[in-house]
Amino acid sequence: MTADSASMQDDQPLILVIDDDPISRRLIRFWMEKEGYAVAEATNGQEGLEIFQKTMPDIILLDFMMPVMDGLEFCNAFRQLQASTEISPAKNTESSQETFLLRHELVAYQQAEDLLTKIARTPILMITAREDDESVTKAFTAGATDFITKPIHWTILRQRVRHLIYQAKLYQRLEATNVQLQRLAALDPLTQLANRRVFDLVLERQWRLMLRNQIPLSIIFIDVDFFKNYNDTYGHQAGDHCLFEVAQAIASQVKRPTDLVSRYGGEEIIVILPDTPGIGAQLLGENIIEQVRSLQIPHQSSLVAPIVTVSLGIASIEPGCVTTNPEKFVALADVALYEAKARGRNQMVAKVWGQD
C-alpha cells in the first residue's frame, strides 16, 4: 500500500511503516489506526525514502531486516538527505540565513527548510528481532531514535510512538518560534523591509563578491520628498501608513532574490543591486519613481507635487575601479541624493565611482 492510500488529515499524525512483511504492516496499521493515527506503508527502505518526501510523516516505524535497502541503510540514506538538500535558491549568497534575510518569503526556501526540519526531527523507531549489543549500537549509530523488539508488545509500541511524536512536535514548534524570531529581528517593523543591520551585513557580503568576481555593484538611496511636512499636515499615524505604502511600492519593483530593499533610517530606503551597472540601476530608479507616483497619495504640503514623490541618489561601481570601501560607496549615493533634492526633488541623480 502506498502513500496515496493513507488517510492523512491535517490534525491526524501520520506514521510511515517501512517493512517488507505484509502481515507485520497489517498488524501495525490495525493498532496504530485504532489509536487515531493515519498510516502510510513502504515495503523497503528505498520506497520509504520516496514516500517520506511525499508525505512528510510524523514518525517512521522501520524494520531492521529488509531486501533492497534494510533499516540501517535507510537510516544512512535518510540522514544524507539533510546534507544534499539545497536550501539557498538565490545566487551569490553565503548561507541559508542570508538568503532568508534577503528574501524571507521565497517559497523554494520555505519548502526546503520544511524538509530539513522534518529530516532533523522525524523520529525513527527501529523494529528488530535482534537485541544484541552490536545490533542495537548499529541502529543508534545509523540514526535510529529508539528501538523495539519483536514480537511487538503493542502497549509498549503505543506509548513509544505517542512519546516520540510529542517530542518531535515540541522540537518543531520551538524551531518555528526560532525562525519567527529571526525573521522579526531581520525586518523593520513599520515598513516590513529588511532593517539597517541586515543592510550592513548584505552590503559587506556583496562588496566582497564584487571584488572577488569582478562584477559591477549599484545602490539606490531613496528619500520621500517633504516627508516631515507630510507628518506635520496629516499626523504621524498617516505618515507611518504612507511610508509603508511607499516601501511596498519600491519593493514591488525589485524582483531579483539577490537584490535587497531595506529601511536605512527615517524616511530613507536603500536598495542593493549586485551585478548591476549604472544603466540598470537608473532604469530601476525610473520605475521606482513612477511606481510611487502611481500610488497617488495626496500631499498638499509638498513643494514639488500634489502627491507623494521620492528623490533618488544612485551610486555604481565598475570592476577594476574599486579604490574605496562600502561606507564611502554609500556616502557617494548620499551625495547623489542630496543633488537630486537640490535640483528640485522628484527625480534621480546617478554617479559612478571614479567618474564624478
Q: What single DSSP character describes residue 152?
A: P
Exposure string for 100-109, b = 16+ CB within 10 A, e = fewer: bbbbbebeeb
Distances (CA, A) of 271 to 73, 101, 333: 48, 14, 11
**How buried is residue 167: exposed, middle or buried, by Cβ count under 10 Å (0-12/13-18/19+)?**
middle
Tell me which of 41, 98, 113, 267 is the catalytic residue: 267
Q: How far is Cα 183 from Cα 6, in angstroms, rounded to an integer?
A: 35
**Phi, psi of 58, deg, nearest 5:** -85, -25
DSSP lists the bridge partners of residue 147 as 126
Taking the C-alpha atoms of residue 274 and residue 277, their distance in angstroms, rounded to an integer, is: 9
In angstroms, the CA 250 to CA 258 distance is: 15
For the residues of 164-233, what is the DSSP string, one character each? Answer: HHHHHHHHHHHHHHHHHHHHHHHB-TTT-SB-HHHHHHHHHHHHHHHHHHT--EEEEEEEETTHHHHHHH
* 267 noted as active-site residue: yes
If phi > 0 it is left, if psi is from -120 to 50 it is alpha, else beta; for residue 226 that is: left
Determine the Cα–Cα distance for residues 156 and 174; give it in Å rounded to an integer. 27
The residues annotated as belonging to the active site are 267
